[in-house]
Structure 1
Amino acid sequence: MKIMVINPNTTRSMTDAVVAAARTVARPDTEIVGGTPASGVPGVESHYEEVYGALGVIDQVRQGEDQGIDGYVVACFGDTGVPAARELANGPVVGMTEAALMTAALIAHRFTIVTLPRRTIAHSDRIVRDLGLGHRCTVRAVDVPVADVSHGSAHLAEIFAQQVHPDDEALILGCAGLTDLVGPLTERLGMPVIDGVTAAVPMVEGLIAQGLTSSRVNTWRHP
């Protein structure tokens, strides 16, 4: 199967990082390709920028359909453009935020998202609310711009660790550019640390294997 990991922003180094992370969990017979919009914004940190990011996602799905892509992962916390992508794509579309939250819900009673920057808390809150997980998930944030993780995030290990509270049982990394924090924080905190991209890839593979895609009955009918 062929899965496209879509980065809604125009920063190619971030696309490369999430594609590399996706390949570490993909099945041997799964081909992972990256999608980066030709135009838009270098990072999605506001509702305004999210609109441009969603247009980028739609553009990449259109190209993916022409390339025979079987399924998609949207690599932006807040799942930018996911509903529109589900209407357009023939195969399944999984957002990294939903994937991370559903994974956390299976392995921990209480868990926290640490996202960045602070103004994007609302984007995480939206997905937590839609999944009905507000009683189990707390959203916290550090005031670091997305640009600071475009070439790696190891330098943020300490500030992320400081956001974890004693009652947290798992940590969700709230940005696609944080994949290299999984190992260090897992060891330091002694709890599951979840990256949404690596959580989403096996979900897409599983949906494809079952012959499942977005329901066309009502909400996600093709436009």
Structure 2
Amino acid sequence: MRLVYINPNSTASMTAGIAQVARQAMPGAEITALTNADGPPAIEGPEDGDAAVPGVLRLVRGVQGADAIVIACFDDTGLAEAQAAASCPVLGIGQSSYLMALMLGRRFSVVTSLPVSIPVIEGNIAAMGFAGACASVRASGLPVLEIDEGSPATRATLATEICRARDEDGAGAVILGCAGMAPLQGDLQARTGVQLIDGVSAAAWLAQAAAGYVALAS
């Protein structure tokens, strides 16, 4: 199976982290990760998302021979447009996280980066019909590029917010609401003991299912 991950922002280090997590999740797959060189360095709010969409669509239209494409921004930047433009299944890491939480039977919270991202995420959750399963969407107060660096202070802040989602909001699972958090999942799981869902890995498994179903039905 060939999966193509598209990072809607222009930060290559984040793309590398996404690729590493995807390959660990699906070692038998051929994973390609692309960076949107025309996008902003980070997607923090709707304006950044809108600015990233044209570059995302150019990358989607250039993909050939993929079994599935994953939009690797938690806001699912340009997901609907990418699905309309592609000839294979296209998933978002936000979408995949919510679906995985529901498959696990867990009421979920999302821990994301900055408060400006909360309305976008809440809107996506509502539009997909998952609002009833969502306990909360919390901002860590950390910028995306700071999360990507993964410093000890960043990890401690995220762990604290994850525990608050469990203890204060009653979350049975916490979704890591930024692609830059995906490489930190193992450490954060060990620190908190909370069931964590990272969308990069969830998307790999769901993309395999979608691609397999398309092949079966064709």
Q: TM-score normalised to the size of structure 2?
A: 0.90
Q: Deviations over 1:75-98 (max 9, x none)?
A: 101100110100011000000001
Structure 1 residue 188: deviation in Å?
2.5
Distance in 2 between the 1:189 and 1:151 partners? 20
| 91-100 or 103-112: bigger deviation | 103-112
* 1:104-183 paired onto structure 2 within 5 Å: 104-137=101-134, 138-152=136-150, 155-163=153-161, 164-166=165-167, 167-183=170-186
Q: Distance in 2 between matches of 1:192 and 1:152?
A: 20
1 or 2, which has the higher helix percentage? 2
Q: What is residue 194 of structure 1 aligned with on the other side?
A: 197
Shift of 1:27: 4.6
Which residue of the partner structure matches residue 60 of structure 2? 61
Aligned counterparts of 1:144 and 1:120: Cα–Cα separation in 2: 11
Separation of aligned partners in 1, 2:106 and 2:5: 29
Task: Structure 2: give runs of 5+ residues left out of the alignment.
Answer: none
- The CA deviation at 1:154 is 5.1
Partner of 2:32: 33
- Range with bigger deviation, 1-10 or 179-188: 179-188
Identity across the alignment (%): 33
Deviation, 1:106, is: 2.0
CA 1:153–1:127: 2 relative to 1, 3 Å: farther
Q: 1:20 maps to what in 2? A: 20
Q: CA deviation at 1:129?
A: 0.4
Number of positions where the alignment pairs a residue of Structure 1 with one of Structure 2: 210
Equivalent residue letter for 1:141: A
User: How far is the alpha carbon of 1:151 from its aligned partner?
Assistant: 3.2
Matched AA of 1:16:
A
Classify the secondary structure of the residue corresponding to 2:130. Answer: coil
Q: Hey, which bits of structure 1, 4+ residues long, moved more than 6 A? A: none
Give 1:78's aligned residue.
75
Alignment of 1:211 with 2:214, yes or no, is yes
Q: 1:2 to 1:40 in 2, by over 3 A?
A: same
Deviations 1:85-118 (A, max 9, x none): 0001100000000100111112243211000111
1:89 partner letter = A
Counterpart of 2:7? 7
Over aligned residue pairs, what C-alpha RMSD do you find?
Answer: 1.7
Partner deviation per Cα, 1:150-191 (whole Å, 9 max, x = no partner): 333554222122222322211100000001321122223222
User: Quick check: 1:72–1:91 contact (8 Å CA) kept in 2?
Assistant: yes
2:154 partner amino acid? L
Counterparts of 2:48 and 2:19 in 1: how far apart (Å)?
Answer: 22
User: In the alignment, what sits opposite 1:93?
Assistant: 90
Cα deviation code 1:103-140 (max 9, x no counterpart): 11122432110001111001110221022222221111
The answer to which of 74-83 and 141-150 deviates more is 141-150
